[in-house]
Chain A
Amino acid sequence: VGTRTRRIESADALEEALITCDVGVAATDRIVESVRRKARRGDDLLPLVREEILSILQGAAPPPVTGAHPRVVLIVGVNGTGKTTSIGKLANLLKQEGQKPLVCAADTFRAAAVEQLEIWTRRADVGFVRAQPNSDPAAVVFDAIQSAKARQLDPVLVDTAGRLHTRVNLMKELDKIKRVAAREVEGAPHEVLLVLDATVGQNGVAQAREFMKVSGVNGIILTKLDGTAKGGVAVAIAQDLRLPIRYVGTGEQIDDLVPFNPREYVDALFEDAW
């Protein structure tokens, strides 16, 4: 796969480029308008649009800081986006940074979800608290936080079942998990990361909005960027909701998760695809 970057010389070409990346009609219109105002006739629009998107991404809120222990990180998202896999990778990454993560399996619903996560925690060699099948997810989160306190493990990474943001009851379940966590550790959950699949289209905005509302999402893990999809809806989300991307997933191996680098992301947006 080559990494060819093209000149973008007209507003139409820019529109096509952005929409093809899933930035969406509304966000694309705003970006095109802003770039058009700054451009002079005959300019290559690419450097301008790069700066524009960078400033949108950097305008998103920074990650929260907390002095509380253990830090509680909740991983949420719709079905099949890569939550469980990302937890495995994240546990590995944090461990390499010298932290002592404990992973909590609060997906008590999907077939073999607990077993899947357990295999990841063995690979990452981190603590693991499992749930009984069909038990209450909030109860497992309670157990995990107790266990982390007793074993001096930090942070607690909580995997949750995939759920569509339109399912009111399942969204309430997240709220319950949050309340249990808040009772056990001040300010918990400190981070709530929405796992967004890079192949997703404009529904990603609705996902972000609803998960923010119900579960207080404050960051995004953008997965499957190793494919041809660009995950451009994250730009629209940053613009609309000021929600920052924190990590990106680039494969199915344990090392395939890295902290988000806006410049690399923006460069990749304009590579290959056209």
Chain B
Amino acid sequence: MFDSLSNRLQDVFANLGREVRLTPETVEIALREIRMALLEADVNFKVVKAFVDKVRDRAVDAEVLKSLSPGQQVVRIVRDEMLALFGDTQGGLPPVSATPRVILMLGLQGSGKTTTTGKLAKWLVKQGKHPIVVSTDVRRPAAIEQLNLVAKQAGVRAHDPAGNLDPVSRASGAMQEARTLGYDTIIVDTAGRLHIDDELMVELEAIKAAVQPTDQLYVADAMTGQDAIKSAGEFNRRVGVTGVVLSKMDGDARGGAALSVVSVVGVPIAFTGSGERLEDLEAFHPDRVVSRVLGM
């Protein structure tokens, strides 16, 4: 699983010559390689810096340097530290006692919120739940219609009071319908917005206040670059993030944004999206993403 990183590092150590012992200097050369690999995978510059420092602290330890296979030790440290960042998670949604469960979808424009709302509804149905979805996106042309179609494909109900174009009252309407008709989960889709768009962030705060969500899922595009840390950080600061969905993992992006987002919001990744179809949603496996980020 960590073969490529191992290979790259083994190359580094091989180049140093067999007779040479691992020293702080040679560790430094390896760290430079790791740094490059992470930056090429789009992990944020500052996150990489902090990460490499952490690995250095552990790697220059006398025990590591004296060990029989110091190269592999360093690889193991890198892997451990990265898995530690993702936390001890098996993915999916944590159990809650509250009913109905209210899931608020958050994120930048085009990250995959509406599609993920449909995927999640379908996933919940498979878990024996009865979800209802509602769009609060009254701005993007045909956004409500898109969610209605997606809900139909997922075989779940979409709350859509004709003519109601107020995001907050659409969301509270769905809460009422869920209580009256006995739906146990409400997924609230929201319009994409920039983290620096104050007016729309205020709107999001209002929706949150109205529905008091149990889960706030931040949907991040796996292809995101350095900006991931700013956008996720700001959504977390203003409305809070309880879980992350990493979408568009089906491409060939290294997905370093996963690391950036997780280090800035400090909560685990719940799901990864791996396609446009509603069944393309998987509970998160840290090891898969770690090998992806390190895949060289």
Interface residues in chain A, defined as those with a beta carbon under 8 Å from any beta carbon in chain B: 1, 16, 19-22, 24-25, 78-82, 88, 109-113, 115-120, 162, 164-166, 197-204, 206, 224, 226-230, 233, 252
Contact = CB atoms under 8 A, between A and B. Distances in A.
A252 B146 contact: no
Given A25-B40, A228-B195, A79 B227 contact: no
B248 A79 contact: yes
Contacts of B36: 25
Nearest to B111: A80
B42 A111 contact: no
Contacts, number: 131
10 contacts: A78-B251, A79-B112, A120-B141, A202-B253, A202-B254, A203-B223, A224-B108, A228-B231, A229-B226, A252-B109
Contact of B250 (A81, A166, A206, A228): A166
B199 interface: no
A23 to B, nearest CB: 9
Interface of B: 36, 39-42, 45, 108-112, 139-143, 145-146, 149-150, 153, 194-196, 221, 223-228, 230-231, 248, 250-254, 256-257, 276
B248 A164 contact: yes
Nearest to B112: A80
B225 A201 contact: yes
Contact of A227 (B141, B194, B257): B194
B39 A229 contact: no
Given A80-B110, A164-B248, A166-B251, A203 B42 contact: yes
A116 B137 CA distance: 13
A206 B254 CA distance: 11
A229 B143 CA distance: 24
Given A202-B42, A204-B223, A204-B225, 11 more contacts: A19-B39, A25-B39, A79-B112, A111-B153, A199-B224, A199-B231, A201-B226, A227-B231, A230-B227, A252-B109, A252-B139
Q: Name B's interface SS.
A: loop
Contacts of A79: 110, 112, 248, 276
A88 B253 CA distance: 29
Nearest to B223: A203
A78 B257 CA distance: 17
Contacts of B248: 78-80, 164
A201 B108 contact: no
B244 to A, nearest CB: 16
B253 A201 contact: yes
A81 B112 CA distance: 11
B32 to A, nearest CB: 12
Contacts of B227: 22, 198-199, 227-230
A1 B198 CA distance: 11
Contacts of B110: 79-82, 197
B196 A201 contact: no
